[in-house]
Amino acid sequence: MYMDSYLAGVLFGDGTYNKGKNGAYYVWIDQHERNSKILDRVSEILQDNGHKIYRYRVPDNKLRVLTYSKKLFVEFQELRKNPVTHFEILNKKNKLKFVAGFFDAEGTHTDRIVIYNSHLKLLEAVQSFLKTIGIFPAIYKFGKISGLQLYKKEYVEKFKKNINAIKIASSGLKNVGGC
């Protein structure tokens, strides 16, 4: 798969794909308008990879970035089928980028950092990777959803230092390195 790793993380968390009745292949992501900087980064990545984008408002104070691309559609479909394999074959730099995108799509932060998702095996793969860089998250169940959670200040600080996520940069949380 050749998809940008940040884009893969965001799309796995919040992306959608569809093949229209007219045969067109659509890939899009919706975000609340307060997360418009995430869509700015997604738009830039898509355009840098030669995709024409369409950006517009949708209901519930959301914005959408959409592109027509069979190639991206197929890559996203493959990512959806086996996200763990996709993640595990990435090098360290691209794993950091994937985690940044995944956090931007599925994460929250207060005094702790949590990435929520229903794909437990992917959360476990991310957990294993984070341990290799000295971050030791726990995984909890929240109903049908699981959450990879960092609650120790030391781990939250390491995450902020290493993961170049928009939600960290735009929150006033300090990011001093990373991807």
CA angle in degrees (0–180, nearest 5) for 96-170-125:
25
Is 96 in the same domain as 165?
A: yes
Please report the pLDDT score of residue 2 as a whole number: 73
Whether 174 shows a pLDDT value over 50: the answer reads: no
Last residue of a domain, one of 63, 81, 99: 81
Percent of the chain with pLDDT over 90: 89
Last residue of a domain, one of 55, 81, 107: 81
pTM reported for the whole predicted model? 0.93
Please report the pLDDT score of residue 134 as a whole number: 97
Q: How many domains does the chain have?
A: 2
CB-based contact 27:80 (threshold 8 Å): no
* Residue 21 lies in domain: 5-81
With cut-offs at 50, 70 and 90, classify the pLDDT of residue 171: low
The predicted-structure confidence for 114-152, as pLDDT tens digits, reads as follows 999 999 999 999 999 999 999 999 999 989 999 999 999
Is 117 in the same domain as 157?
A: yes
Whether 73 shows a pLDDT value over 90: the answer reads: yes
**CB proximity list for 87: less than 8 A, separation 6 or greater:** 95, 98, 122, 125, 126, 129
The answer to whether residue 18 is domain-embedded is yes
Is 159 in the same domain as 114?
A: yes
Percent of the chain with pLDDT over 70: 94
The answer to whether residue 177 is domain-embedded is no
Residues linked to residue 30 through DSSP beta bridges, in sequence order: 64
Across 51-75, average pLDDT: 97
The answer to whether residue 174 is domain-embedded is no
Please report the pLDDT score of residue 169 as a whole number: 78
Is 103 in the same domain as 154?
A: yes
| C-alpha span between 142 and 125 (Å, rounded) | 19
